[in-house]
């Protein structure tokens, strides 16, 4: 989609992948409420244009959209070409798009894993690489990568998902050291449960006690994340309960973690036999 040529070079845009619903939409609204212009990349559907109009009408900022499937190999190049041709100056890149999973590893189709890793890992890395020059010239700039509290843990039934997030954790931390001298801050967001879509709500409905109390709504998560990013935090773990889980995990002996995991596997087998 061709954007309006009015004053594009004078504006700084936030580019958000998966930005038309859930957490991505919350990021778009939060930044737009602060007067920031928005670029949304998401699957092409009627909601994409509706959300663009909603952003512009409610917040009075520029919002442009690109419908693209981030599980396709050419998606990063298509996004970069769109940004370049329209001369968008991007000073915030939010790699939000992701595909979750919750099932026994061997029961998920191989094609699903290909799509999941393309979205969660491969295209997040490639898009970041393609956007570096634009971010440098638009600085001071930020890259916010969507990790997960689960990326610090070994979680049965979420094997490939938490592995993909562990990759993003390492990628973000290493890239931070390279890009900081260039005026680009790399931020890693690691939420626990987020009530962001139908699948996440189903998973959250199974949680009990303190785990359920740790769940964030997308709007609250976006505000906490953007506030923390602008306050120069580099690893954001929102919520006291989630921070406690993270710190406790670092000190638990390996045999205790194994007992907890085995107990979870036994419980699952009782439910499925």
Over the Cα atoms of the chain, what is R_g?
19
Distance of CA 78 to the CA centre of its chain: 19
pLDDT digits (tens, 9 = 90+) for 18-40: 999 999 999 999 999 999 999 99
CATH number attached to the domain at 8-241: 3.40.50.720
> 147-161: string of b/e by CB count within 10 Å (b at 16+)?
bbbbbbbebebbbbb
Query: What's the rounded Cα separation, in Å, for the pair 12 and 5?
Result: 14
Query: pTM of the full predicted structure?
Result: 0.87
pLDDT digits (tens, 9 = 90+) for 94-151: 999 999 988 899 999 999 999 999 999 999 999 999 999 999 999 899 999 999 998 9
What value does the mean pLDDT take over residues 194-223?
67
pLDDT band at 248 (very low <50, low <70, confident <90, very high): confident
Domain ranges of the chain: 8-241
């Amino acid at each position: 989609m061709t954007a309006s040529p009015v004053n594009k070079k004078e504006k700084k845009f936030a580019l958000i992948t998966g930005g038309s619903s859930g957490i991505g939409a919350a990021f778009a609204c939060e930044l737009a409420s602060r007067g920031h212009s928005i670029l949304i990349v998401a699957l092409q559907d009627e909601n994409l244009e509706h959300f663009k109009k909603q952003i512009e009408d409610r917040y009075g900022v520029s919002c442009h959209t690109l419908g693209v499937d981030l599980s396709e190999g050419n998606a990063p190049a298509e996004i970069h070409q769109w940004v370049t041709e329209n001369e968008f100056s991007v000073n915030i890149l939010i790699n939000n798009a992701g595909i979750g999973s919750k099932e026994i590893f061997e029961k998920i189709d191989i094609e699903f894993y290909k799509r999941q890793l393309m979205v969660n890992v491969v295209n997040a890395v490639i898009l970041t690489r393609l956007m570096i020059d634009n971010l440098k010239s638009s600085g001071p700039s930020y890259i916010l990568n969507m990790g997960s509290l689960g990326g610090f843990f070994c979680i049965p039934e979420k094997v490939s998902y938490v592995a993909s997030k562990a990759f993003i954790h390492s990628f973000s931390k290493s890239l931070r050291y390279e890009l900081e001298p260039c005026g680009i801050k790399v931020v890693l967001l690691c939420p626990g449960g987020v009530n962001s879509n139908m699948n996440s709500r189903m998973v959250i409905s199974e949680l009990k006690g303190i785990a359920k109390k740790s769940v964030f709504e997308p709007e609250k998560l976006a505000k906490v994340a953007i506030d923390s990013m602008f306050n120069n935090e580099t690893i954001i773990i929102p919520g006291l309960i989630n921070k406690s889980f993270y710190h406790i995990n670092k000190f638990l002996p390996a045999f205790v973690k194994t007992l907890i995991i085995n107990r979870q596997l036994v419980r699952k087998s009782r439910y499925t036999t």
